[in-house]
Amino acid sequence: MDKLKELVQEKAGISGEQAEKAIEAVVGFLKDKLPAPLAGQLDKFVGGGDDEGGDDDGGGMGGLTDKLGGMLGG
């Protein structure tokens, strides 16, 4: 989650604490709106995914951070 937090901080110009709250709000919103099987995967992507080493098939934080960075213009 550190990479995502840094990305949100940088793009939004906010503190780390504010970035964490923003991420939690977005993840909570998505979990409420997505079908249960997809909502259950969000925790893996945001907190539990391994973003260090190995191949990243888009299923871990590395893939999510890349996708969000693209959406945010990064």
> Could you list the residue range(s) of the whole structural domain that residue 54 is in?
2-71
Instruction: Give per-residue pLDDT as tens, 25-42.
Output: 999 999 999 998 888 888
Task: Compute the distance between CA of residue 72 and CA of residue 4 in angstroms, rounded to an integer.
Answer: 12
The answer to whether 49 and 41 have CB atoms below 8 angstroms apart is no
Instruction: Give per-residue pLDDT as tens, 49-74.
Output: 544 444 444 444 455 555 555 555 55
Q: How many domains does the chain have?
A: 1
Q: Identify the residue with better confidence: 43 or 73.
A: 43
Tokens in use for 5? 């937090």
Smallest CA-to-CA distance from 64 within 73, 74, 51, 55 is with 51
